[in-house]
Amino acid sequence: MVLELSKRAQQMLNKRDFLDEYTMLCMHDPFNQDTNKKFGSKEQHYFPMWGTTEMCEALASCLTRHLAPDLPVLPENVLVVNGGVAAMEVLACCLLDPGDVLLTPSPCYTRIIVNFSERFKVNVVDVLLRDTNEISVGERSAFELNGDLLEDTIMEQKATGRVVKAFYLVNPNNPLGEVYSPQLVLQLMEVCHRHGLHFISDEAYAMSIYEPQTPFQSVLNLSPLPDPQKTHVIWSFSKDMNLAGIRIGALISQNKDLLHVVKNTSVYTAVPAIVQKAAASLLNDTVWLDEEFLPTHRQRLREAAHKTQNALISLGAKVQPAQAGFFLWANLRCFLPKVNHDEELALFKRFMAHKVYLTPGSEMRCADPGWFRIVFSSAPHVLEEGLSRIADTIKEL
C-alpha cells in the first residue's frame, strides 16, 4: 500500500533508526534487581513514542465501548500523538504532498486549514455548504451536506488540474453541532472511494452527543468500509474528556504503511509517559467514566444547549438545530443594518466591547453573512452572565 502515502512518507517508510530499534529491544527485557534485574521506573525512561502499551490498550477499549461495539478497535491500530492538531499534521505529512488538495465542508473549524497548510503546504478547499433556506428549530437544517455536493467539488478541482487526495469530515460537526447519519457518511465514503481519496473522520465530539436517540455511528463501527486502507479516524481527550491541557490525541487506521511511518517519526509527536499513565488510568476506570462522568457530561451539555437556544430565540435569533458539541450556530442576520461580512464583523466588535465572545461565521469560512458560533460549555453562572451580555449588546443596537 506504499502508493497510498505521500512521496515524503514513502521516503520514510523504510527508514531505520539504529538507536530507536535497539532501545526498544532493551526496553522489552530490562534489568531488575528483584524480578528481572532492573532498577528505576519505566516512566522515567524512553518508551514507545507512538504510545505506551497501556495507553493504546486503554484507548482501544474505550473507543470500542463507546464508538465501535460491533467491531472492536485493535490496540495495534491506535497511535498516540500530542493532541488532535498533531494527528492532523501527521496525516498532512504522510498522505498529501505539497500542492495536493484536501476537501472539507465549510463552515468549518478553521484549525483544519492551518494544520494541513501551514507546514505541509496542502491546499485546503471548501465543500461549500450554504444557508439555502430560512430555518427555525425543528425544521430541516440549512448548510446541508450530501454526496452530490462532494462529487461536484471533486470534479471542479480536477478540472483545474489539481490533485485531490483526501476528504476531512468532522462528525459531529463543528460549528454546526449537527450529527451526520451513517447513511450519509457511507455515501460520502463511496464518493471518496470512486475518486481514490482518503477519508478522514474527525470524531472529537463523538461522546458529546447530548440529544437522546441521535443516530450517530462512528466510522470505526461501519462495515464493510468502501476502502479500509484509506479510512482514518481522529479522536482526542480535549473535547469528550474535557482535558484539552493533557494533549493526547489518537489516530486510528488499518493502513500498516501509514502506521509504520508515523511510528518512525513519532519522536516529534510523543506524549510524556507519565501523562499517558495518568490518562490510561482515567480511561480504565470504566465504572466512573461510563456510569458517572459521560452521562453527567451529556446532561450538562443538554441543559446548557437548551438554555442558550431559548435565550437566543427570545432575542429574535434563529438557531440551527444541534445534537452535539459545545456550541450553537445562530443566525443573527436580523441585527445587521446590511447583510454583509463587514456588518457581521461590526456586530462581533460590539459583542467584544461587552466582553462576550461569539465567533463570527466569516472566521469559520461561512459564505453567508450573519451567522455566529456561540459556545455554551461554561459553568452555569458564567453562561448566565454571557447570555446577559449578548442581550445587553442587542438591546443597544
Mean pLDDT value of segment 368-378 = 96
Q: What is the pLDDT of residue 140?
A: 45
Does residue 1 register a pLDDT over 60?
no
Query: How many Cβ atoms sit within 10 Å of the Cβ of residue 97?
Result: 18
Mean pLDDT value of segment 260-265 = 93
> What fold does the segment set 289-396 form as a domain?
Aspartate Aminotransferase, domain 1 (3.90.1150)
Pick 53-284's CATH classification: 3.30.110.30, 3.40.50.720, 3.40.190.10, 3.40.640.10.
3.40.640.10
Pull the grid cell for residue 329: 450556530
Does residue 200 register a pLDDT over 50?
yes
Q: What is the pLDDT of residue 308?
A: 98
Split at pLDDT 50, 70, 90, the class of 45 is confident
Q: What is the pLDDT of residue 5?
A: 80
Q: How far is CA 5 from the centre of its chain?
A: 21
Mean pLDDT value of segment 257-266 = 94
Q: What is the pLDDT of residue 20?
A: 62
Per-residue pLDDT tens over the stretch 222-253 = 999 999 999 999 999 999 999 999 999 999 99
Q: For residues 9 and 100, is the Cβ–Cβ distance under 8 A?
A: no
Split at pLDDT 50, 70, 90, the class of 40 is very low
Residue 138 or 348, more confident? 348
Residue 36 or 11, more confident? 11
Per-residue pLDDT tens over the stretch 164-197 = 999 999 999 999 999 999 999 999 999 999 999 9
Does residue 307 register a pLDDT over 60?
yes
Per-residue pLDDT tens over the stretch 126-150 = 999 998 755 444 444 589 999 999 9
Per-residue pLDDT tens over the stretch 203-215 = 999 999 999 989 8
Split at pLDDT 50, 70, 90, the class of 6 is confident
Residue 153 or 40, more confident? 153
Q: What is the pLDDT of residue 260?
A: 94
Mean pLDDT of the chain: 91
Domain range summary for the chain, segments of one domain joined by +: 1-39, 53-284, 289-396
Mean pLDDT value of segment 283-308 = 98
To the nearest whole percent, how much of the chain has pLDDT over 90? 84
Mean pLDDT value of segment 70-86 = 97
